[in-house]
Structure 1
Amino acid sequence: MANVVNILFVDISVLMFISLAHTQNNLVFQPSYIIVNGPRATSLLLGNTSDISLNLRTVSPSNTTGNIASPSCVSEATQWVLTKEQVGKTAIQVQLRLDKSLRLCGENETDTDCCPNPLCVLETLQVSACVGGTPQASLLIQAKIHALLVSANTGFGNKTVIPNQVYQPLGSCPCDLTLRACDVRCCCDKDCSIEDLKLFASHCLPGPFGGQVSPAPDYQCSVQSSENSPDWFPFLCVNSPPENNPYLGLFYQGNTITSKPGPSFQMPVLSAPQPVNIYIQGSPILTTNDQYFTIPQKVLGQCVNNAPVAFLKNFKVECVTLLRSCPTGSPLLTRPTDLRTRVKNGQGGDVVVDVTDEVAIDSSQFISSTDAFSDEGLVCENVTLALDYKVYWKGNGITSITLTRTVGTITLNSSVALTTRYSAVFLNGDVMGEPNSGNPGYQEGRPVIAGIVDTLDNNTGSVQRTSVNLWKPVSDGLCSTAEMKPVLFGENSTSGCLLPVSQQNLTQCNLLRETVASLQAALITATLVAKSGNPDPLTMTDWVNIGFVTQNSTAMEDSKSSCQGVPSHQHIHVWSLITGMVEGIPQREIQALQVSYSLSPWTLECGGGDVSPCVDPMVTQLFPITSSVTFTDIPINTGPPKTRFQINFTEYDCDKNDVCWPELAFPITKYYKGEPYSQSLAKGLILAFFFIAASILGTPWRQIRQVWK
């Protein structure tokens, strides 16, 4: 059985080590006679292989002598392809390949590229090596090849994929594993011809896997034997073919369920951003080639050169770069052609960034190293110092983008700390789009919105937005380099900066107090604060006046080295109130905001061995200037105030008396929670009915009726 279905592909390669003197003048095939059972045959031609031609023909034994005809240099057309390859100076590899499919032809098939019979090829081939038309050596090949019962290209591509039975029902022939080919011993395979089935008809795979019905039912006459069969069995058993069996097999045959991809714990592959039809607040702005429109920004405190720009998100950042040589790439060295990016406008079109250049005459404001002011050194021209974008928008689209690029010349002596500025502002017409801090109530962590009445537009009386700020010290902590940070709703905070003061400054206390007051006043330039997180700039009822309280200093005289009543601390007190609930979230509004100042004396300290501030009028000491904010929630009044009767007369108050008359009928009141109120009321009424009935039918009423009669 195995000899019938086994397919053998033989590649015969014989390497012979023959002396060079022997092979220089003689030609010989090694081996010179080959018997093949597959579609390939290989041999080596050894000797002087220069000017050699190979010829292939089909030969047959003589009917009289039985010998093969002598070699010939005339080629014939065969179903084999002859190729040769030089493998050395005195060796040629000769290979024959069958140019025909070994697939067995089906019934009524007209394709000629198949085998009509199981014995597909039976012939003898002769390869002659000729020099100048004279044969020098010959190779005989006897080919006896049977047709393949499986597909010619064996591999994963021709295997039938058995699907998951939960999602797709399995076929009626589970052993049919090869597509469009006969599977050995699979008697239910529709690809097997009658001749194929005759080869393994008596060796079919048993059970459901082989397509046979199993097991046989107990009522079959062939199942019960004479040893264990009951007495009545010969009269009641059934003779039925095996196919007529109620056994349905072990495979799921239900409806098909559409499979859904499960969760994956692998790292997702980042793809290119998908284009959007319109822009919404926070969505990234895209270029025409579906890439992010980027501007240098700060991410987690670090400057990132290629950070995406979000729609309607304003920002202004400063990045510090230590330069030791002239910049050679973006963003410190840019060209207008590179900045004229084509951006999608969100309405199906695009806009081009309009670039305008400005030259900074004085570059010192961008440089924090004194080495750069030297006249000698490396000169770097056209260094980008600032990029300021203005994005004009309307609805869900962008109408235009303008860029102001500030460039300047920097002289490098050794190294320079260069501070560059990058900003993007979204303008609706000429009005800057400001983000809200809630809808409508304030959200914790969002900036408190302040405002100033626009005096230039007296007709509308609109409010221009601004912010309430605290100190944000950086680097050395001095007030001259300190920045401002907005007050965030619901977050109490305290911050400050340091002001250097000398003995000479303390001799001019009025000027010192005015200087500190101006520094503190710069934190809050607004006069109004918004009640809610989304105020209307044209509705004055959405705004509350900011109260300023200045504490009068006590009448104390200023001395030589001290000043009294310096407004060194600024305190912001915010009162908020919960005005309602939206989807279970409390909505908080600002009811009042008050700014107060604490006055303190400033005196030089010359203790600890350091007396220079008190001796040298130019030596300075650092004095703190602080600012803080406190948020207070106004408690909600949950009920109306008590009346005078409720306050004065407490004999009916169950919480203050041992005897509580209102609880006499407690089971039928709404305060009783032991059972539903309707049930307790019904039971109470029933008890009252029985009490009245007993009273009417009792002794007093009976005596009254007797007297009446």
Structure 2
Amino acid sequence: PSETRTASPARPRSGPAPVTDVTKLCVCDLLVEQCDVNCCCDPDCSAAEFSLFTTCSVPVVTGDSRLCSQKAAVYSLDVEENPPEMIFKLIDQVNPSVFCIHATNYKQALSFSSPEMPTSENFDQLLKQFGSAAFSAGPHSWDMNTDTQNPSENETYRYEYGVPIQTVDGFLRLPSPVVSSWCSNANPAGFLVNQVTKCTRSVSVKNCGDIPAVSMLFYINSSILAVSKCHEFVFQVNITVQSIAVQSPNGTRTLLSGGDVLRLPEIVEGLCINIVFGVSYHITYTEAGEIIEAAAAFVLGTINEEALSIQQSFEISFTQANTEPVPLSGNPGYVIGLPLRAGYRPQGYPFPVEITTNKVSQLTLLQSTSSQDCLAAQGARTPILFGYNMVSGCTLRITAAIKCQPLAQTLLDLLKGQSFPEYVASFGNSQAQDVLDWVPIINLHLSEQVRISNTFQSSCQIPVSLEIEVKWTKYGSLVNPQARIVNVTATITTTTLKRLPSGRERTIPVMSSVVFTDVSSPAVPGYKAWPTINVKLPFDFFFPFV
């Protein structure tokens, strides 16, 4: 199972006592070794001098008014006594502000200290202490307080954005480069923070089995805590292996069928196989901020004796349970370089549009191959990116034995793909329920042009090109215009192919293209019209002249 519910003890952390002692703090003590008038907290004042005071100039002494809870020294005079006496009380003062500070127990944070300059002698020590992406600034004297009472059972704990994902032995590691391009394993993965990192790892064939960071076990041997480690019992979620892909020396990858089998590095005929080249974590969480599932996809490779280092890539993504993630291409307008968002009209339109997230079903274009063979290019598609005009094509060799109708259908599927969308989102963040935000794709080809006789008795109409024109305009303010799609047209061009004699061949080019046209009206400065005075005069105003 992907989730293991195991109790793990977690004790709350408490800091030492506050640094400031309010009983020794006196802001009105200005004279050295002399009693200040009406300064009740002055230690230089005697009882006889207190009897001459009329009031306490500073009745309450506190350390920092921004603290949530702190000790306060209260000074007052008992005028009923003869002579008057000073009364001292130490009370707990509570700050009602929601932005108060819980505790100031780190003495070094109360003042700015001069940083230690790196030298040739202390560089290795400083790199070890501060070289990672995250390090602890707390004093080593902090300890776990076992006498603290357990929190309330009704109090809930959850992960918040950016909080490091905790595991049984620390936190979820996402290696990244720090000072140089070399990998550092001290980078924690933050909750809901999608990250992609690449770094270099030093390896060798002789000791590849002794390097933990190149083994799959290094990334899945620790269980993730389902919630933040703040109470006594914490559920654990095991990291499962989602898939394993093997990368060849030329860069091609092959997905293994038994993807859940642990493959450890080993030396075979002078080569070290099953080296981790990449790890992709996928975390599933609930609306309450609890992690319920964690999976990892690995890319394994092989190194030879000449290899001194490898480049590793790491990625982490998050998905909320019971939801379907839909990638956006802008907010709100389209961003240049992001794919066009497409969808279909489901049954019951004009209800919400069905947005496609499958790369095969998106608005795509035929991808050119090195062989330029149309039959070999079937299935190779590239997404249409906003603002990028593209042209691709291939060549088709036709013989006399080829039938017309299957050839025409094959070319149509080659140009438009297996599932051509019906709608395109006008904005990069258009939602499925906003029906008016979706622009229908206008198809300018006739079905009769491709559905004719299935023989070459006279001639054959076959599609040879697909031209997609996307018209967009600048929407909104002139200071920050947003790209909005207003029209999409897909035009299929057919050509007549006459019957070929037996034994003859013909080669025809097949092309597809997309062009983006800016139809925005030019910005023209406008001025407000002069005000008009609508005055009604009496009918005899100009009498007797008119």
Higher share in helix: 1
Higher Rg of the two aligned structures = 1
TM over 0.5: no
Q: How does the TM-score come out when normalised to structure 2?
A: 0.44
Larger RCO, structure (CA 8 Å, separation 6 or more): 2
